Amino acid sequence: MRFSPLFGMAMACGLLSPSLFAANDNGIEHLMSQSDFDTVVEQLNAALEEKGLNLMATVDHAENATNNDLELPPTTTFIFGNPKAGTPMMQCQGSVALDLPQKMVVRETGEGVRIEWNDPHYLAERHGLQECDLPLDNISGALNAVAESAAQ
């Protein structure tokens, strides 16, 4: 799994703890926050706006569960993007539209509030984007920065 150069510098300088940031083999990156759920949601909204990312929708999964007499810890999916980043990916391979716009999930766990998102390098592998000249490191860095801002 590759990380952005900014991520590597932040780790080397001790600005990020490896226990707070991780990527799984299945392309899901995550960051843990010690802030409460509502604070993380507010900070994620602010980070998306600050980065100029278009928030298209949010899905409150816990509310949907409650409306159907089911229980789920607070869990919200944010659907957002930037056409300048996503469109070239879709021009390269249309199937990437299955995974775009980008999403971040904020959910409450027993360990704290977890923020999760898809690694753009994983999406490139999944959809065969290797032959295209795409700024995947920049996209990855922007997603990491959004998650870090939300997790503060």
Distance from C-alpha of 47 to C-alpha of 117, rounded to nearest angstrom? 15
Place of tokens 């920065």: 145
Is 20 a residue whose pLDDT tops 70?
no
Is 47 a residue whose pLDDT tops 90?
yes
How far the first Cα of the chain sits from its last, in Å, is 24
Please, what are the domains in the chain? 28-151 (3.30.310.70)
pLDDT for residue 1:
35
Grade residue 11 by pLDDT with cuts at 50, 70 and 90. very low
pLDDT for residue 127:
97
pLDDT 10s digits, 93-121: 999 999 999 999 999 999 999 999 999 99
pLDDT for residue 81:
96
pLDDT for residue 24:
57
pLDDT 10s digits, 128-149: 999 999 999 999 999 999 999 9
